[in-house]
Amino acid sequence: MVDASAVLRQGLLQLSKSGQVRTLIEKAPVSRDVVRRFVPGERTADAVRAATDLDRTGRRSTIDFLGEDTTDLDQARATRDAYVQLLEALSEAGLTQEGRSEVSVKLSAVGQYLPGDGHKIALDHAREICQAATNAGTTVTLDMEDHTTTDATLETLLELRQDFPSVGAVLQAYLHRTEADCRDLAGAGSRVRLCKGAYKEPESVAFQDSAEVDKSYVRCLKVLMAGEGYPMVASHDPRLVEIAGALAARHHRSADSFEYQMLYGIRPEEQKRLADRGDQMRVYIPYGQEWYGYLMRRMAERPANTVFFLRALATKG
């Protein structure tokens, strides 16, 4: 039998790469209003405001300046500059103490795909962002993109950690390789965000069935919770959140030795509940003009998000 939600998911992930659909959606009069549910704004001030609001309710944040797959050096430099400016603004707002607000960086946004020296350019830009984070008293997590970049991203991570040991990694449970990567990255002080994974990946490298992805997530979580690092449990899935709590208790982890993470605008009540009960909760805040790819991945994850978007287009557009 055809799984309709899987077909919708694959279709939306395909569309996330389509320039034509992107232009259509970006120009739709209502798009920006609807996008606000997931993306608080386009300017640094919007990101700082969202982080401040979360901070008031005991939630931490990690902020992503939207943009990816850059093939233009000026654009890569502009992204680096945006992060440096953001980190200064977060520091001025008093949000970076004890790493309450940090930043998430996609290497493809700072030059990884540039022809020739892409790897080195991205590394240099990431290094400058890490230095700005250190100056502000906080840290950086490297987002993980599609599987063709996993090795290069982990290499860059290790290079950055020589000077900035607190740089965080992201691992995606849908990849067959990830349990082994968790073992490699479960050492003392290693910050690892575990997520399910958001890209369209082939069967040769990734589990396709959601139950298989969930099982892999639990196996990976077991490795990270048993290790000496700092696991960051990035999921909205109630079952996985519960399992993470149980594993943390089994390994006698204190509340400050791991954290939960969720995306801005998704399950805000659950975010508050976890923070209120004394757990660490960090919210991923994306901001900037390049929201299209991010939004399409959120649509692909949950048909209800797509319905919300289409309904708004139909009623206001």
Q: Does 113 participate in binding ligand FDA (rule CB under 6 A)?
A: no
Q: Does 272 bind ligand FDA (CB under 6 A)?
A: no
Candidate list 59, 60, 100, 143, residue with the active-site label? 143
199 is an interface residue for ligand FDA by CB under 6 A: yes
- The tokens for 31 are 């798009």
Tokens standing for residue 170: 């992201």
What is the per-residue burial (b if ≥16 Cβ within 10 Å, else e) of 178-203?
bbebbeebbeeebbbbbbbbbbbbee
- 238 part of the interface to ligand FDA, by CB under 6 A: yes
- Which of 144, 186, 223, 296 forms a contact with ligand FDA (CB under 6 A)? 144
Footprint of ligand FDA on 297-316 (CB under 6 A)? 301-302
Number of residues counted as binding ligand FDA (CB under 6 A): 23
Token pair listed for 285? 């805040």
CB 206 within 8 A of CB 244: no
Binds ligand FDA (CB under 6 A): choice among 68, 143, 201, 259: 143
**Contact flags string 145-164 toward ligand FDA, x per CB under 6 A:** --------------------
Does residue 170 interact with ligand FDA by CB under 6 A?
Answer: yes
Reference 146, options 14, 237, 311, 252; nearest CA is 14
* Whole-number Å distance between alpha carbons of 191 and 258: 9
Smallest distance, Å, CB 222 to ligand FDA?
16
CB atoms within 10 A of CB 260: 26
Q: According to CB under 6 A, which one of 114, 175, 263, 299 is a site residue for ligand FDA?
A: 263
- Asked if 201 contacts 174 with a C-beta cutoff of 8 angstroms, the reply is yes
Q: Read out DSSP for 205-225?
A: TB--SHHHHHHHHHHHHHHHH
**CA-to-CA distance for 81 and 200, rounded, in angstroms?**
30
Q: Which of 127, 193, 297, 298 is catalytic?
A: 193
Do β-strands 140-142 and 101-105 pair in parallel, antiparallel, or remain unpaired? parallel
Q: Which is nearer to ligand FDA, 103 or 144 (CB)?
A: 144
> Using the rule CB under 6 A, is 112 a contact of ligand FDA?
no
Q: Given candidates 55, 237, 253, 268, which one binds ligand FDA under the rule CB under 6 A?
A: 237
Active-site positions read 143, 193
**Residues at the contact surface with ligand FDA, assessed by CB under 6 A:** 143-144, 170, 172, 193, 195-199, 234-238, 261-263, 266-267, 284, 301-302
